[in-house]
Amino acid sequence: MNAKNPAKILLVDDDPALQELISISLELNGQQVLVASNGSEAMSLVDAQAPDLIILDLVMPVMDGVCFIRWLRQERASAVPVLIMTGVARPGMVEELKSSGATEVVRKPIDVTTFLDKVNQLLQG
């Protein structure tokens, strides 16, 4: 993507402070950011906006990240890359999330530089 056609990124997280931090970081990195506070809101944005990348929290009200990614992969058959952010850490979790349809997983708290590198890698395919 370039300045004329910035990547469209859907950020799905229920933490307003984290939404702001990530949105500003992505916008400074040249991307367009759409924000949803839960999986249910994100469903509407996926259909209306066709994002190039989805950044998804796991633990949210209304519809969590796992339910959303199942919907995305099964109901929409979408291959859009999904970067999961999570503060949850348990053995085998990353492998489990990838088998559910996640492209990559990063742990919270995020390091912005490393996070943006991962975003750029995913957008380049």
Local structure of 123: helix, strand or coil:
helix
Q: Give CA–CA dist 34/45, Å, rounded.
A: 8
Q: What is the mean pLDDT of residues 94-99?
A: 91
Tell me whether residue 81 is in a domain: yes
Tell me whether residue 103 is in a domain: yes
Tell me whether residue 125 is in a domain: no
Q: Give CA–CA dist 115/26, Å, rounded.
A: 10
Q: What is the mean pLDDT of residues 39-62?
A: 94
Whether pTM > 0.75 for this model: the answer is: yes
Q: How many domains does the chain have?
A: 1
Tell me whether residue 3 is in a domain: no
| Pick from 2-6, 82-86, 108-112: least confident | 2-6
- Show the tokens assigned to 35: 């924000």
Tell me whether residue 47 is in a domain: yes
Task: Residue 92: give the domain boundaries.
Answer: 8-117
Closest by CA to 9, choosing from 39, 63, 49, is 49
Q: What is the mean pLDDT of residues 60-79?
A: 91
Q: What is the mean pLDDT of residues 3-10?
A: 85
